[in-house]
Amino acid sequence: MPVIPESVVSKSGYTTASRVRRSTAAPHLALIAVQVMFGTWPIVGKIVLRTVPSGGLVGLRVAGASLAFIIIGRMTGGVGRIQRKDWPVLAVSSLLGLVLNQWLYVEGLSLTTAINATLLSTAIPVFTLLVGMLLRTDRATLRRLVGIALAAGGVIYLIGPTRSEFSSLTRAGDLLIVANSLCYGAYIAVSKDLLKRYRALTVITWIFIAASVTTVPVGVYSLSRVSLAGITVSVWLTILFIILVPTVGAYYLNAWALARVPPSTVAAYIYLQPLIAFVLAPLVLGERLSWRAAIASLFIFAGVLVVTRRGRSRAVRELAEHPEAFGH
């Protein structure tokens, strides 16, 4: 188990210092639960998108999560104020990490399969490292370049240059998911200073509140164009599940586990998400795991493994300190 340098300490309410306690079964069980929660999001999201437009789903998720975080903050005293000088950074972080992130992901999910969306999201550590290298906050090494090349090869193969019926039907959605992952990598780079100065609960709550300014009006407009009477109770309960489980609940379990295992371990558990989608999507949505997706997953998995190995990348550490990272 790698040891994180003592200088790597987050003021987010948990620590990633060398004081991280020896791993027990509990943190790993928590991380498995987190990935199960995150892995169900595209599955249930596809179900909701059958009757609710993407803009409406984003607005409901952001508004509901904002309210949940505010309530939790009031109960725990964990939400503080953001200084005025940090408002511009907060606004940009909210735009990249939630507004564009949510719109691109949910719209992409509506145009592609849950399997493709989950598989492409697995490459988030690679996209994060790529952004870090472009901004020169992470060093370009041969190992990392090989990892990026492997993952990129898998992404390109999945989207497919050929004109087969399957790839042409899902290509637009796949490209939106790729854009979503790039936005998230940029968000991690922009928001890292906020997490150094404020508690994670404070940052994530204000980011959700700021995102509500844009996403909620768009969501209201989107919902006004559909018949609310046609949205069944089961769909509303599914939306509530999306807000409470793969958004708020997974965030806290991930943060709790991060205080007990190294960031590289947290990042490595992302591999479980595609496996969950590979099992649930055919059962729940009737999707099929194509040979193209299976082969692409091998390349993407290999690239992420190379990038996250030993957790020495600053991008990987910062990614793990964003417990909401893999939940989109």
- pLDDT tens-digit profile of 215-235? 999 999 999 999 988 899 999
Please tell me which residue, 4 or 139, carries the higher pLDDT value: 139
Confidence of residue 212 (pLDDT cuts 50, 70, 90): very high
Closest CA to 274 of 294, 246, 256: 294
Please tell me which residue, 310 or 115, carries the higher pLDDT value: 115
Confidence of residue 148 (pLDDT cuts 50, 70, 90): confident
Confidence of residue 99 (pLDDT cuts 50, 70, 90): very high
Output the six-digit token pair for 212.
Answer: 């509500």
List the single range of 30-44, 161-175, 185-199 with lowest mean pLDDT: 161-175
Closest CA to 246 of 277, 215, 216: 277
Alpha carbons 41 and 20: distance in angstroms, whole number:
30
Highest-scoring range by mean pLDDT, 196-205, 237-246, 286-295? 237-246
pLDDT (0 to 100) of residue 328: 55
Share above pLDDT 70 across residues of the chain, in percent, rounded to a whole number: 82
DSSP characters over 150-216:
HHHHHHHHHH-SS--HHHHHHHHHHHHHHHHHHHHHHHHHHHHHHHHHS-HHHHHHHHHHHHHHHHH
For residue 269, the tally of other CB atoms under 10 A from its CB is 20
List the single range of 6-10, 262-266, 269-273, 299-303 with lowest mean pLDDT: 6-10
Closest CA to 274 of 119, 114, 113: 119
Confidence of residue 14 (pLDDT cuts 50, 70, 90): very low
pLDDT mean over 193-197:
81
pLDDT (0 to 100) of residue 106: 94
pLDDT (0 to 100) of residue 77: 76
Please tell me which residue, 80 or 251, carries the higher pLDDT value: 80
Alpha carbons 264 and 204: distance in angstroms, whole number:
21
The answer to whether the beta carbons of residues 189 and 137 sit under 8 Å apart is: yes
pLDDT mean over 74-95:
89
Alpha carbons 180 and 88: distance in angstroms, whole number:
21
Q: Classify residue 65 as exposed, middle or buried by CB count within 10 Å of its CB (0-12, 13-18, 19+).
A: buried
To the question of pTM greater than 0.85 for the whole model, the response is no
Output the six-digit token pair for 293.
Answer: 């997706």
Confidence of residue 316 (pLDDT cuts 50, 70, 90): low
Give me the long-range contacts of 73-76 (CB less than 8 A, separation at least 24). Answer: 73/201, 73/202, 73/205, 76/201
Buried-state track 39-58, b at ≥16 Cβ within 10 A, e below 16: bbbbbbbbbbbebbbbbbbb
Q: Classify residue 323 as exposed, middle or buried by CB count within 10 Å of its CB (0-12, 13-18, 19+).
A: buried
